[in-house]
C-alpha cells in the first residue's frame, strides 16, 4: 500500500498532541512529589516526543523518525529499569517515596 | 548508508568496541565468587583503557569517514582514554571502601548495595565509551544514544559509590534531572529532524543552508527552537545555568572519586555534543542562538563563582567552580572556529580552545578532587575547610598537589589552566565578544578568592588531628599524575595546543565554503 505524506494541517494536529503530552509531563514533573509519579511524568515527555517523531516521519515520508522512536523506547526502558531499581533502594532506606524526604543536601 | 560506508564506520569504532568488551568482562568477572578474580577488575579496566588509547593513536592518521569532524573524534577519544586512566587510578578503591563490600563475604541479609565490586568498573568503562561515541557521532539518533550511554552508568555509580544516605539522595536528584534533560534535548532533536527531514548531520547542514538561503539568511523557526531546546537539555550534562542546580548536591553526595568522574566525563560529552549541534547551523551563529548562549555563558560563570564564594564545604566549592568552568567553555563555543585569521595562530579558534580547555580543566579539577579523596575524617570523607586545614604540616605532598591544581584552575602561569584561559579569551575577543571577555576576566578574579581560600587553608590553617590519609597508593598516583600533567602541559603545551587545533581544522575547512565567512575573511585580508 503506497503511503501518502500527511499535509501540514494533519501534521500540526499530531505535533500539538505530542507537545501537550510533553508539557503535561513537564508540569507533572515539577508539581508532583511522589518519585514514581515523577518518573512516569518523564516517561510521558518521552512519549510526547515519540508521537512527534512518528508524525514528522510520515510528513517527510522517510523511516528515520520511526527508527528513532524504536531507539527512544529502548532508552526509556533502560531508564525505567534504572529508576525502579533506584526507587527500591531508596524505599528500603527511608520507607517513603516522597521527594521532599530527600533534601538533606543543601548549601 | 552503503555497505562500504558501514564497514568503514565500524572500522573507526575499534576503540569503542574494545571498551565495550572490557566493560562486559568487568561485569561478568565482578560477579565471580572468589575475591581474587574480582580484584582483577580494575586491572582489566586499566588494560582496556590503554588498549583503546593505542587503537585511537593507530587510527588517528586514517580518516574514519566521519566527515568534517573526524579530527574532533580522534582528539576527544584520546583525551578521554588518557584522562580516563587517571580517573581510574583515582577511583580504584571506591568499591572496596564500602562497608557492604567489606563484609559481603559474610553478608546475612541482602541489600542491593552489597553486590558491588567489578560492576563499578564496568559502569566506569561504559560511561567513557559513551563519550567516545559522542565524539564520533554523525547522526542525531547516534548522538542521543551516546549521550544516554554516558549518563545512565553515572547514575548507578553515584547511587552505589558511598555507604551514606547522601549518596542515594544525590543519585535520585541526578537521575530525575538527567531524565528530564534527556527528554528536553530529545524533543530538540525531534524538531531538528522535523525541520530538515533527516537525522544525518551532513544532510541536516546541507538542508539548513538551503533553507537559510531561501529565507534571506533567516534560520527557520522550527530548526531554531529545536537547536535551542537541544542546547538547554545538554546544559544539564555540562552543568550550565538553566540545569546547574543539581551539581552542588550531587557532587557533595557522591564519593569524591566519583565526583571527579562526574566533573569531567559528562561535561566533556556535553561540550562535544554542543559543538556538533552548533555546527549544524555553523558559525557565525544565528542571532537567537547567539543571545541564548551569551546569556547562558554569562549567568553560568557568575552564578558558579558567586555561589562558590559562599560555601563551607570544599567539595561544594569545587562543584560550583566546575559550574563556572562550564560558563568559560560556553564562551569558547560562542566564539566558534577561526573565522578571523588576523587574530593569529592558535588564539583565534574557539572550538580548539574548548577542546584544550576541557583537558586543562579536567586535570586541575581531577587532581583537586583526588587530593580530597586521599583524606579521611573519622571514617568519612574529608569535605569541609576544617578537614583540609593545615594539610601542609601533616601531608605536605598532598598540600602541594592541591596548591598546583587550584592554581591551575585559577589560571596562573605556568600552569595549563593559564594557557586554557588565554586561549579561550583570545578566541572570544577575536570573535568580537568583548563584554563576555570582560565578564570572564572579572569572574576569574572572583574565582581566585575561593581557590586561594582552599590553598591558604592547606598552608596556613591549624592542623586538624582527626584527618588521616586513606593510604591508597593508586589515588595518590592519580592526583600526582594529574597535577604533574597540569604543570608539564603548562610549560610545554605546544603539542596539546596543536592537537586541539588540528582537531578542529577540518571544521574550518568545511566552514570556509560558506560565502558569508569567506567574504568576512577576505575583507580583513
How does the average pLDDT of chain B come out, rounded? 84
Q: Which residues of A touch B189 (CB under 8 A)?
A: 68
Nearest-Cα distance to chain A for B323, in Å, is: 15
- pTM as predicted: 0.89
Domain carrying residue A72: 5-95
Which residues of chain B carry a pLDDT beneath 50? Answer: 61-66, 100-114, 340, 342-344, 507-525
CB B248 within 8 A of CB B310: no
Assigned domain for A104 exists: no
pLDDT of residue B505: 65
Q: Cα–Cα distances in Å, from B300 out to B109, B259, B425?
A: 46, 19, 16
Residue of chain B with shortest Cα separation from A106:
B249
Chains A–B, number of C-beta pairs less than 8 Å apart: 121
Residue B453's φ and ψ, nearest 5 degrees, are -65, -40
Closest CA to B72 of B230, B265, B269: B269
> What distance lies between CA B60 and its chain's CA centroid?
21
At residue B99, the pLDDT reads 52
- B2: three-class secondary structure by DSSP: coil
Residue-wise over B206-229: b if at least 16 C-beta within 10 A, else e?
A: ebbbebbeeeeeebbebbbbbbbb
Q: A75 and B182: CB-CB below 8 Å? A: yes
Q: Where are the domains of chain B?
A: 3-506
Please tell me the distance in Å from B175's CA to the nearest CA on chain A: 8
Inspect the interface and report whether the beta carbons of A29 and B180 lie closer than 8 Å. Answer: yes
| B200: helix, strand or coil | strand
Contact assignment for B152 to A64 by CB distance below 8 Å: no
Instruction: Name the H helices within B411-493.
Output: 416-430, 434-460, 473-491
Q: Does A46 sit within 8 Å of B169, measured CB to CB?
A: no
Query: Within a domain: residue A91?
Result: yes
User: Could you tell me which chain A residue has the CA closest to the CA of B197?
Assistant: A60
Distance to chain A for B320, nearest Cα, Å: 11
In a domain, A105, yes or no: no
Q: Is residue A102 part of a domain?
A: no
- Tell me what ipTM this predicted complex has: 0.94
Q: What is the pLDDT of residue B346?
A: 54
Q: Any bridge partners for residue B380, and if so which?
A: B377
Residue B10's H or E segment, with its range, is helix B3-11
Transcribe B298-350 into DSSP letters.
Answer: HHHHHHHHHHHHT-SBHHHHHHHHHHHHHHHHHHHHHH-S---GGG-GGGG-H
| A75·B145 Cβ contact <8 A | yes
Cα–Cα distance between B254 and B95 in angstroms, integer?
A: 13
Taking phi over 0 as left and psi of -120 to 50 as alpha, with beta for the rest, B381 belongs to beta
Of B113, B191, B316, Cβ closest to residue A107 = B316
In a domain, residue A16? The reply is yes
State residue B386's pLDDT score: 84
CATH number of the domain encompassing residue A91: 1.10.287.3510
pLDDT of B508 = 42
**3-class secondary structure per residue, B204-218:** HHHHHHHHHHHCCCC
Whether residue B396 contacts residue B444, with contact meaning beta carbons closer than 8 Å, is answered with no
Give the model's pLDDT for residue B75.
86
Name every chain B residue with its beta carbon within 8 A of the beta carbon of A89.
Answer: 112-113, 159, 168
Predicted local distance difference test score (pLDDT) of residue B103 = 46
pLDDT digits (tens, 9 = 90+) for A18-27: 999 999 999 9
Copy the grid coordinates of residue B50: 590503554
C-alpha neighbours within 13 Å on the C-beta side of residue B95: 25
Model confidence over B83-130: pLDDT tens digits? 998 998 888 877 766 554 444 444 444 444 445 567 889 999 999 999
B396 φψ region: left (φ > 0), alpha (ψ -120 to 50), beta (else): alpha
The number of folded domains in chain A is 1
Which parts of chain A register pLDDT below 70? 1-2, 106-107
Inspect the interface and report whether the beta carbons of A89 and B113 lie closer than 8 Å.
yes
Per-residue exposure over B464-495, b if at least 16 CB sit within 10 Å of its own CB, e if not: beebbbeebebbbebbbbbbebbbebbeebee
Amino acid at each position: 500500500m503506497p503511503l501518502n505524506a500527511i499535509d501540514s494541517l494533519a501534521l500540526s494536529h499530531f505535533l500539538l498532541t505530542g507537545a501537550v503530552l510533553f508539557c503535561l509531563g513537564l508540569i507533572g514533573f515539577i508539581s508532583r512529589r511522589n518519585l514514581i509519579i515523577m518518573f512516569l511524568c518523564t516517561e510521558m515527555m518521552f512519549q510526547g516526543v515519540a508521537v512527534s517523531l512518528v508524525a514528522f516521519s510520515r510528513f517527510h515520508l522517510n523511516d528515520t523518525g520511526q527508527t528513532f522512536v524504536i531507539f527512544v523506547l529502548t532508552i526509556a526502558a533502560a531508564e525505567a529499569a534504572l529508576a525502579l531499581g533506584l526507587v527500591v533502594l531508596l524505599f528500603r532506606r527511608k520507607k517513603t517515596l516522597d521527594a521532599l524526604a530527600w533534601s538533606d543536601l543543601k548549601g | 548508508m552503503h555497505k562500504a560506508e558501514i564497514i568503514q564506520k565500524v572500522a573507526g569504532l575499534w576503540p569503542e568496541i574494545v571498551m565495550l568488551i572490557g566493560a562486559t568482562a568487568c561485569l561478568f568477572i565482578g560477579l565471580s565468587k572468589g575475591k581474587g578474580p574480582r580484584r582483577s577488575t580494575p586491572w582489566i579496566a586499566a588494560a582496556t583503557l590503554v588498549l583503546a588509547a593505542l587503537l585511537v593513536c593507530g587510527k588517528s592518521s586514517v580518516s574514519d569517514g566521519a566527515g568534517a569532524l573526524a579530527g574532533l573524534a580522534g582528539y576527544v577519544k584520546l583525551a578521554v582514554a588518557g584522562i580516563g586512566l587517571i580517573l581510574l587510578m583515582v577511583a580504584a578503591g571506591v568499591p572496596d571502601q564500602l562497608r557492604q563490600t567489606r563484609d559481603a563475604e559474610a553478608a546475612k541479609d541482602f541489600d542491593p548495595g552489597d553486590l558491588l565490586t567489578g560492576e563499578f568498573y564496568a559502569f566506569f568503562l561504559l560511561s567513557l565509551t559513551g563519550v567516545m561515541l559522542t565524539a564520533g557521532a554523525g547522526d542525531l539518533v547516534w548522538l542521543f544514544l551516546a549521550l544516554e550511554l554516558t549518563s545512565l552508568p553515572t547514575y548507578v555509580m553515584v547511587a552505589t559509590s558511598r555507604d551514606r544516605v547522601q549518596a542515594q539522595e544525590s543519585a535520585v536528584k541526578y537521575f530525575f534531572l538527567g531524565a528530564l534533560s534527556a527528554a528536553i534535548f530529545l524533543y530538540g532533536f525531534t524538531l531538528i529532524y522535523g525541520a530538515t527531514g533527516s537525522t544525518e548531520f551532513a544532510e541536516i547542514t546541507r538542508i539548513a543552508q538551503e533553507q537559510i538561503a531561501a529565507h534571506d539568511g533567516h534560520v527557520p523557526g522550527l530548526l531554531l527552537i529545536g537547536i535551542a531546546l537541544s542546547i538547554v537539555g545538554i546544559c544539564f550534562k555540562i552543568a550550565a545555568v538553566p540545569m546547574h542546580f543539581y551539581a552542588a548536591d550531587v557532587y557533595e553526595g557522591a564519593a569524591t572519586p566519583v565526583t571527579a568522574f562526574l566533573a569531567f566525563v559528562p561535561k566533556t560529552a556535553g561540550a562535544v555534543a554542543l559543538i556538533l549541534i552548533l555546527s549544524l547551523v555553523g558559525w557565525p551563529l544565528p542571532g537567537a542562538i547567539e543571545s541564548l548562549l551569551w546569556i547562558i555563558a554569562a549567568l553560568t560563570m557568575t552564578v558558579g563563582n558567586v555561589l562558590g564564594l559562599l560555601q563551607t564545604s570544599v567539595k561544594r566549592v569545587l562543584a560550583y567552580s566546575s559550574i563556572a568552568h562550564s560558563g568559560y567553555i560556553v564562551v569558547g563555543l560562542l566564539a566558534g572556529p577561526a573565522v578571523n585569521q588576523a587574530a593569529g595562530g592558535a588564539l583565534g579558534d574557539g572550538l580548539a580552545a574548548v577542546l584544550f580547555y576541557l583537558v586543562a580543566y579536567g586535570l586541575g579539577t581531577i587532581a583537586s578532587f583526588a587530593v580530597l579523596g586521599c583524606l579521611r575524617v573519622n571514617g568519612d570523607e574529608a569535605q569541609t575547610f576544617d578537614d583540609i586545614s593545615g594539610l601542609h604540616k601533616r601531608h605536605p605532598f598532598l598540600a602541594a598537589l592541591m596548591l598546583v591544581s587550584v592554581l591551575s584552575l585559577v589560571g596562573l602561569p605556568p600552569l595549563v589552566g593559564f594557557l586554557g584561559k588565554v586561549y579561550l579569551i583570545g578566541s572570544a575577543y577575536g570573535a568580537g565578544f568583548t563584554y563576555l571577555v570582560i565578564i570572564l576576566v572579572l569572574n576569574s578574579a572572583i574565582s581566585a578568592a575561593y581557590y586561594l581560600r582552599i590553598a591558604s587553608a592547606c598552608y596556613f590553617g591549624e592542623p586538624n588531628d582527626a584527618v588521616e590519609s586513606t593510604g591508597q597508593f593508586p589515588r595518590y598516583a592519580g592526583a600526582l599524575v594529574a597535577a604533574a600533567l597540569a604543570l608539564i602541559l603548562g610549560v610545554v603545551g605546544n603539542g596539546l595546543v596543536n592537537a586541539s587545533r588540528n582537531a578542529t581544522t577540518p571544521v574550518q575547512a568545511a566552514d570556509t565554503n560558506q560565502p558569508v565567512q569567506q567574504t568576512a575573511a577576505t575583507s580583513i585580508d
